[in-house]
Amino acid sequence: MKQRIFGLENEYGLIFSPNGRIYLPMEKVLGYIFEGLIPNSWPSNAFLVNGARFYQDTGCHPEYSTPECDNILDLVTHDKAGERLLEACLPAAEERLREEGLSGEIYIFKNNTDSLGNTYGCHENFLMRRDVDFWKVTEQLIPFFVTRQVFSGAGKVLKVSGKPQYFISQRAQHIHEKTSSSTTSSRSIINTRDEPHADAERYRRLHIIVGDSNMSEFATYLKVGTAALVLSMIEEGYLVNGVELEDPVKAIREIARDPTLKKKVRLDDARYMTAIEIQRAYLERARQYLDQEEHDATLDDVYAKWEAVLRQLEEDPMQLAHQIDWVTKKHLIQSYVDKKECGWDDPRVLLLDLQFHDVKRTRGLYYLLESRGLVDRIVQEDAVQRAMSTPPQTTRAKVRGDFIRFARAKNRSYTVDWTYLKLNGYWEETILCMDPFSAVNRRVEELLSQMPGGRFHR
């Protein structure tokens, strides 16, 4: 596919820390956050004016799904906009607590595990061609996703046999299958649920649930960008042979436990390779694809960054402390341990691990590093701020956002999903939006013409 639709879904961790003995149910806390995003209502599933979806997921986690994006930089921008929207809800939610005679702080974390060992996900979505053999694609992709954690992992301190150990991925230890239709009971590397939210005869959705949530914009860009590049080359017949894993689930866990990146995992043919060596096999094939096929220009930049990162990981991963989450966090914790002359089993280390992912920029440790210029950004903050209220202008998300603005301005009840828009009640009508690449809908344009001046002022 020369064009592709991308989407990211992030489930967030939520903690209420009361100033006193009264503890509020998490459902109530989440309700106050919802009020900040969707005033005067408490839905469990709502689309926002920027085209994104915000809802309560299993385990009382707020989940933010980006609007449809057709380029990776837009996706990174709208992923960050999700963080900012949740952060912006905190003051009003805490004020609502005080109105009820309670006080305390609400914490929202963009991570993947809690203190009880539960996990919640970051799901990647790629629109792909229906005419390509899905199962051949998945077999080709599995070694790539097993080893991609070397640059996309978020890092985690876990106790193994009573001793603290640093893992490069939070999600890897919770993967149980190669492929599965479930996202909870039998988490897999590739989810097989076939929900394209588009013309099912032409497209299907590749749904990836193995990745970590990233604070680093660079890591998100590289995580999604490399997956898009590899998917594109496989769709065009550029296959990677000789890297099939004997046991992908075992391999993903073994790689996660080795921050030196020296661990060799067993292949189907009884050979052994490191994660970086397997990544290089995909990198080399991608070079051939880019040299011979017409492609999105962004993929050239993705390739260059991918090549550089693999080289630096091989030389010394700590060179990437300004770009890769697991390296940034490891460097932060090691610096703290050295300064305080304490061990990795110190309770404060676990607190640092968690605080790294706090989305409140005046409190989160990742944002403390960002404010000091110690981590790289790849999108501008003003673009992130715009994305909080403005959808991508080149996909179906624009139609959805315009429709929601119209319905709210006219005080009309409405129902929205990925593929349709519906005005409820008197003059009820449903508008189908099956083409995710289309940023224009005739009927929505007619509705917009009813507004003063014929359109919205953004």
Grouping H, G, I as helix, E, B as strand and the rest as coil, residue 154 is: coil
pLDDT at 183: 59
Tokens of 400: 């959805």
In a domain, residue 105? The reply is: no
pLDDT value of residue 262: 97
- The boundaries of the domain holding residue 153 are 124-356
- Backbone angle region of 225, left / alpha / beta, with phi > 0 → left and psi within -120 to 50 → alpha: alpha
410 and 343 fall within a common domain? no
Domain end marker among 356, 378, 412: 356
Instruction: Look at residue 109 and tell me if it is in a domain.
Output: no
> Do 317 and 174 reside in the same domain of the chain?
yes
Neighbours of 19 (CB within 10 A): 10
Domain end among 301, 327, 356: 356
Q: Are 352 and 336 in contact (CB under 8 A)?
A: yes
Q: What is the pLDDT of residue 182?
A: 64
199 and 339 housed in the same domain: yes
Q: Is residue 130 part of a domain?
A: yes
Q: Which of 356, 380, 412 is the last residue of a domain?
A: 356
Does residue 337 fall inside a structural domain?
Answer: yes
Q: Does residue 206 form part of some domain?
A: yes
Question: 435 and 305 in one domain?
Answer: no
> Does 288 share its domain with 334?
yes
Q: Which residue has the tokens 């002359």?
A: 341
Tokens representing 423? Answer: 């005005």
**pTM metric for this prediction:** 0.95
* pLDDT per 10-residue tile (average), the chain, 458 residues: 91 89 79 76 72 84 95 98 96 88 91 88 95 95 98 96 96 89 73 92 95 98 98 96 97 98 98 98 98 94 98 98 98 98 96 98 98 97 98 98 92 92 85 96 89 53
Q: What is the pLDDT of residue 458?
A: 40
Q: Which two tokens stand for residue 275?
A: 């994660």
Does residue 288 lie within any of the structural domains? yes
**Domain membership flag for residue 408:** yes
| Domain identity same for 185 and 277 | yes
Query: Do 284 and 399 share a domain, yes or no?
Result: no
Q: How far is CA 411 from CA 334, 403, 438, 444, 448, in A?
A: 54, 12, 26, 16, 14
| 327 and 276 assigned to the same domain | yes
| Polymer length of the chain | 458
Residues 161 and 308 in one domain: yes
Do 146 and 259 share a structural domain? Answer: yes
User: Is there a single domain that holds both residue 256 and residue 405?
Assistant: no
Instruction: For residue 96, give the DSSP letter.
Output: H
Residue 34 lies in a domain: no
* 440 and 327 fall within a common domain: no
Is 57 among the residues known to form the active site? yes
Name the domain count of the chain: 2
Tell me, what's the pLDDT at 184?
60
Q: What integer pLDDT is reported at residue 34 of this predicted model?
A: 82
